[in-house]
Amino acid sequence: MLDNGMGNRICYMCNEEKSGGIEVLGNYICRRCEEEMIRQDLDELKMEYYKNNIKSLWKNRFS
Ligand SMILES: [Zn+2]
């Protein structure tokens, strides 16, 4: 988890500095990317993209 000490954090998905959002397995995901993930069933390609991101997230966690 990255923290710049000013309440904002770097999003794991888009690498932008944001506040709010959620944390998944200790990795910060901004509100916009969270909403993208919720919308993912509307876009199969995007779903694959995010699934791969989640997979690498797990891999990083346990490797
Ligand atoms: Zn983001």
User: Would 40 be classed as within a structural domain?
Assistant: yes
Ligand 1 center to 16 CA (angstroms): 6
- Across residues 7-32, what is the average pLDDT? 90
Q: How far apart are CA 43 and CA 4, in angstroms?
A: 33
Ligand 1 centroid distance, CA of 30 (Å): 4
pLDDT value at position 52?
82
| Any domain includes 18 | yes
The answer to whether position 2 is within a domain reads no
> Does residue 5 carry a pLDDT above 60?
no
Please report whether residue 1 resides in a domain: no
Q: How far is the CA of 62 from the centre of ligand 1 (A)?
A: 22
What separation in Å is there between the alpha carbon of 10 and the centre of ligand 1? 8
Distance (Å) of CA 14 to CA 10, 42, 63:
8, 20, 22
Looking at the domain assignment, is residue 27 inside a domain?
A: yes
Q: How far is the CA of 63 from the centre of ligand 1 (A)?
A: 24
Q: Structural domain tally of the chain?
A: 1
pLDDT at 14 over 90: yes
pLDDT above 60 for 35: yes
Does 37 map to a domain? Answer: yes
> Residue 42: which domain range?
9-62
Cβ proximity of 13 and 51 under 8 Å: no
Across 30-56, average pLDDT: 78
